[in-house]
Amino acid sequence: MTEATDQHAIRLTAVSKEYRIGASQGEGMLRDALVGGAKRLLGRGPAKAEPKTVWALKDVSLEVAKDEVVGVIGRNGSGKTTLLKLLSKITYPTSGEIDVRGRVASLVEVGTGFHNELSGRDNIYLNGSILGLKRREIAEHFDAIVEYSGVGSFLDTPIKRYSTGMRLRLGFAVAAHLFPDVLLVDEVLAVGDAEFQAKCLATLSEVGRRGHAVLFVSHNLEAIESICSRTIWIDRGVLRMDGPSREVIAAYLKETAQANTAVIDLSQSEGRPGTGEARFRSMEFLAADGSPLEVIRTADEVTVRFHFEAHEEIQSPYVGLSMFTEFGTLVTHPNTWSAGLELGRVAPGQHTLDLHIRRVPLMPGRYPLTLWMNRHSDSESIDWLEQCATLTVHSPGKTVFERSLPRRTGAVLLDAEWRSAPS
């Protein structure tokens, strides 16, 4: 952690945040309260369940200087977003002190601060006003915001008609061009094309060089290392490590890496978004003959079998598996929709789905896996398991290929060969 200084933009001192899951929000109508109270007095009413206490953050102390770009990493549900919400004053700490100096722009969720019924033009001015800028100051940067976002043709269209990518681009453009003293960014790179993601990273670096503080939450560790000289790792609400990005990321990868097991139990996985209409129960790796497979090598034939349970009837869901490098770069994204597989009506009960990989096209290494199921009708998530397992790929053997590994780059092994051609 950096040394305490009056030049800080952000300072947290012993900050904790408690959520009470299942706490009563009130009895509803007065009649309901009176009837419920009478039943309990007579011993006829159910006893109230004690609310569950969850500490999203526990005794976190840290400081960010005015010109620092700091990365924030950790598993889903570790407290990263809660940290940004506290700094944004979306919620408040249960204990401890927070000091944030200057104007704060927050991209905690796509479209945060937008009014759906207002146009893109009006929302630019609305966001600027929230930052405390005068209309004249916003107007000075208006053209640059529109050009950066690329939504000029839809500027007078209500935001509710924008795609997720358009909302992201506009929100980021506003936050970056109105020069807040503190910029808080949560997974902005999870949406949008590669070109815009690269533009975002360059802009975040530029914001830091201009003397503004940036806190950047992302699962893309490669992006974190490229623009953040310092990274903090939050684990189950606790500040686990704070230091140079390369060192923190290396420690994080070492702890979160898992070896392959033939069967991976997914039933107890926590922090899984989705409607819950169905849940993945397990995943297993099978060899070509159907036997369990614990060691997977480059060029192997592998079947990944998914077991899931539908709790109600689902019409034509689609299922996908996203595979990443250790640094969070997407490698491949096989899914039933792009493969043209129509699952049709999925009845309540147990189901099995296979992904057959004819030849594992990966260089030796560790590849985190994210498993998901979406509705076909509106693409809403039914089940989402972020980095629920890690596929470890081993070398095929003691070959010239293996000896070249220390110098290799990239993740994909191209199915190709070199040949000498006549001059």
The CATH number linked to 153 is 3.40.50.300
Residue 363 confidence class, pLDDT cut points 50, 70, 90:
confident
Residues 182/104, Cβ–Cβ less than 8 Å: yes
pLDDT reading at 409 higher than 60: no
Q: Is residue 51 part of a domain?
A: yes
Q: Based on the fold, state whether residues 203 and 293 are members of the same structural domain.
A: no
108 close to 81: Cβ distance less than 8 angstroms: yes
The per-residue pLDDT of the chain, averaged, comes to 83
Residue 351 has pLDDT above 70, yes or no: yes
Whether residues 229 and 279 fall in one domain: no
| pLDDT at residue 158, as a whole number | 94
What residue type is 299 in one-letter code?
A
What are the residue ranges of helices labelled H in 152-237? 164-177, 194-209, 221-227
- Say which residue, 200 or 334, is predicted with more confidence: 334
pLDDT given at position 348: 95
Q: Where is 127: in which H helix or E strand?
A: helix 120-130
Q: Is the pLDDT score of 194 beyond 70? A: no
Domain's final residue, options 190, 221, 255: 255
Which DSSP symbol is given to 112? T
Model confidence at 307: pLDDT above 80: yes
More confident site: 357 or 194? 357
Mean per-residue pLDDT, 69-85: 90
Residues 114 and 230 in one domain: yes
pLDDT at position 33:
58
Whether the per-residue pLDDT at 193 is higher than 70: the answer is no
DSSP secondary structure of 385-417: EEEEEEEEEE-SSSSHHHHTGGG--SSB--S--
pLDDT, position 34: 61
Measure the CA–CA gap between 302 and 391, rounded to whole angstroms: 12
pLDDT at 69: 94
The yes-or-no verdict on residue 18 having pLDDT over 70 is yes
User: Cα(116)–Cα(123) distance, rounded to whole angstroms?
Assistant: 9
Percent of the chain predicted with pLDDT > 70: 84
Sheet arrangement for strand 95-100: 52-65, 8-21, 95-100
The answer to whether residue 182 scores a pLDDT higher than 60 is yes
pLDDT at 412: 84
Q: Are residues 375 and 401 in the same domain?
A: yes
Beta bridge mates, 267: none
Q: Do 321 and 235 fall within a single domain?
A: no
Say whether pLDDT at 273 is over 70: yes
- Residue 125: is its pLDDT beyond 70? yes
Q: Closest by alpha carbon to 133, among 118, 66, 206, 141?
A: 141
pLDDT at 48 over 60: no
Q: Do 217 and 339 share a domain, yes or no?
A: no
Q: What is the pLDDT of residue 304?
A: 94
* Count of the separate structural domains present in the chain: 2
**Sign, Cα dihedral of 338, 221, 396, 296:** negative
Three-state secondary-structure class, residue 16: strand
Q: How far is CA 272 from CA 55, 261, 279, 382, in A?
A: 18, 21, 9, 10
User: Which domain does 240 fall in, by range?
Assistant: 8-29+41-255
Strands 365-374 and 318-324: antiparallel
pLDDT beyond 70 at 402: no
Does residue 41 surpass a pLDDT of 70? no
- Name the 3-class secondary structure at 276: coil
Q: Span 72-99, mean pLDDT?
A: 91
Q: In the prediction, which pLDDT does 114 show?
A: 83
Long-range contacts formed by 134-137: CB under 8 A, 24+ apart:
137/178
Do residue 220 and residue 347 come from a single domain?
Answer: no
- Pairing type for strands 314-315 and 345-346 reads antiparallel
Q: What is the pLDDT of residue 408?
A: 45
**pLDDT at residue number 87:** 94
Q: What is the mean pLDDT of residues 109-130?
A: 84
Do 365 and 305 sit in the same domain of this protein? yes
- pLDDT over 50 (residue 407): no
User: pTM to 2 decimals?
Assistant: 0.66
